[in-house]
Amino acid sequence: MKLSDEERRTLDGESGVGAQKAMELLVALGKTFDAERLIGVRKAHVALSGQEGDTYWCELLVNGGAKCAVPPTTNPCWDVDGLTKVYDVTTYERDLALRTIDVYRRIGAKLTFCCTPGLGTNVPFFGENVAFSESSATPYVNSVIGARSNRESSISALAAAVIGKTPLYGYHLDENRRGEMLIDVEAEMKDSYDWGILGYCTGAIAGARNPVLRFKKPVRPSQEDFLYFGAEAATSGAVAMYHMVGLTPEAPTLNAAFGNRQAPAPESVITDKDLSETEQKLSASTGPINLVMLGCPHYTYDQILQIERYMNGRRVHSDVAFWVLAAADAAELASRSHVRSRLERLGVYIVPDTCIDEPCWKSFEGGLGVTDSPKCAYYRERRGQPFAIRRLADCVEAAVLGRIGR
């Protein structure tokens, strides 16, 4: 891998130990993936989490004097001021969150605390080279926008933000953006939930490959639909880019999706039956619930309006907490339009800046939760809360009834 004199000096430690560590990681990745050199980036997104692993890395860089050349937007941690009024955490858990926020502040991140940067807080343009971590954000910017990012980890994206560069390999190169396999979709796509389940099926088949989806029935996905699809494809697999023929910008035609080459025969056909079987496998749970948790990825303003329509003036059951984890801009808009206060009167609460996988939610562990997100269920499993996974309308019914049926 070729480095400029300046890059070499950074690697040798002349810009401080923090920048050196960051450069070492970029060079290790570059060598692994046979990158010829580093390229400049002007946008980055770091998947800050409030977990020890990424906080450790950020502290290592900051304590070594590093500062971001490109201020990256950040993933959510959790709303410490708001949620500690309602739920108990240990001093250690609270301090870890504050320590995380503080260290990302010191390294010069833009503290957006939102896992859907491509929808508003950090939108790259078509063809722009960027370094985006957050496994649901990377496929969104690659596939839906046509920007160019590898599947960055939280730590490699931070390294890229510190240096302002990323190794030139993978999805930055035309030849690697071509589809690698074809999936035919015969299933009917009713709402975002179906797109999520389709994504889960796709990730399991595609693994780390770039899948091309061809729909047999007419579809018109919203930004939320794309987001749900990518989030789940990056949960059951490691999909960082996909094409949907006639829908995503680098796939105007089937052949274009494969780099103007002959498309292969479909490797798989996904039907309504496949979606319902996946749903059954992911989510067998039924019974009384203690939590409805929505917003993995973060809910948008439009999705908040949808909750209000389904609630239709009914109140949430007294045994159930109903939390909507939303992008800060969506929460603010909901306040301005008074949707937020109307929902609160029904027992539905919106919280910005917060992820599902945080210690603030531990008082619900041991009970059954309901969510519309397989990704939420998958990551909460380690923290000891099983989730039933249902479409939004059914999540709302469960909230009102206090239990989930089949």
Cβ distance to another protein smaller for residue 98 or 208: 208
Look up residue 46 and give its two tokens.
């770091």
* Least distance CB 151 / another protein (angstroms): 5
Instruction: Report the site for another protein in 278-307 (rule: CB under 8 A).
Output: 281
* Least distance CB 376 / another protein (angstroms): 12
Cβ distance to another protein smaller for residue 76 or 146: 76
* Cβ-contact 186, 271 below 8 angstroms: yes
* Least distance CB 167 / another protein (angstroms): 9
Cβ distance to another protein smaller for residue 36 or 52: 52
* Cβ-contact 70, 164 below 8 angstroms: yes
Rounded to the nearest 10 degrees, the angle between the axes of helix 301-311 and helix 328-336 is: 50
Cβ distance to another protein smaller for residue 150 or 306: 150
Instruction: Report the site for another protein in 201-220 (rule: CB under 8 A).
Output: 203, 207-208
- Give the interface size with another protein as a residue count (CB under 8 A): 43
Q: Is residue 154 involved in binding another protein (CB under 8 A)?
A: yes
* Least distance CB 208 / another protein (angstroms): 5
Q: Is residue 173 involved in binding another protein (CB under 8 A)?
A: no
Question: In this chain, which stretch among 133-141, 270-278, 285-293, 318-326 interacts with another protein, using CB under 8 A?
Answer: 133-141
User: Of the candidates 7, 79, 93, 134, which one interacts with another protein according to CB under 8 A?
Assistant: 134
Cβ distance to another protein smaller for residue 172 or 340: 172
Peptide bond into 297 cis (omega under 30): yes
Angstrom distance (rounded) from CA 82 to CA 89: 12
Cβ distance to another protein smaller for residue 52 or 188: 52
Look up residue 295 and give its two tokens.
């917003």
- For residue 364, the 8-state DSSP code is G
What single string gives the DSSP state of each residue in 299-315? EPHHHHHHHHHHHTTPP
Q: Is residue 238 involved in binding another protein (CB under 8 A)?
A: yes
* Least distance CB 193 / another protein (angstroms): 20
Provide the residue count of the chain. 406
Angstrom distance (rounded) from CA 128 to CA 153: 19
* DSSP helix/strand/coil, 328: helix
Q: What are phi and psi of 213, to 5 degrees?
A: -105, 135
User: Of the candidates 118, 124, 146, 170, which one interacts with another protein according to CB under 8 A?
Assistant: 170
* Least distance CB 217 / another protein (angstroms): 29
What single string gives the DSSP state of each residue in 207-258? TTS-EEEEESS-----HHHHHHHHHHHHHHS-----EETTTSTT-SSHHHHT
User: Of the candidates 250, 353, 357, 358, which one interacts with another protein according to CB under 8 A?
Assistant: 357
Q: Pseudo-torsion of CA 326, 332, 337, 339, nearest 10°? A: 30
Q: How crowded is residue 337: how many other Cβ atoms within 10 Å of its Cβ?
A: 13
* Cβ-contact 290, 316 below 8 angstroms: no
Q: Is residue 153 involved in binding another protein (CB under 8 A)?
A: yes
User: Of the candidates 73, 112, 129, 135, which one interacts with another protein according to CB under 8 A?
Assistant: 135
Cβ distance to another protein smaller for residue 306 or 354: 354
User: Of the candidates 152, 225, 274, 279, which one interacts with another protein according to CB under 8 A?
Assistant: 152
Q: Is residue 228 involved in binding another protein (CB under 8 A)?
A: no
Instruction: Report the site for another protein in 19-58 (rule: CB under 8 A).
Output: 24-25, 28-29, 32-33, 47-49, 51-54, 56-57
User: Of the candidates 237, 352, 369, 374, which one interacts with another protein according to CB under 8 A?
Assistant: 237
* Cβ-contact 38, 3 below 8 angstroms: yes
* Least distance CB 361 / another protein (angstroms): 15
* Cβ-contact 119, 223 below 8 angstroms: yes
Q: What are phi and psi of 29, to 5 degrees?
A: -65, -45
Rg (CA), the chain: 21
* Cβ-contact 196, 295 below 8 angstroms: no
Contacts with another protein, residue ranges (CB under 8 A) = 24-25, 28-29, 32-33, 47-49, 51-54, 56-57, 75, 133-135, 138, 150-157, 170, 203, 207-208, 234-238, 281, 357, 378-379, 381-382
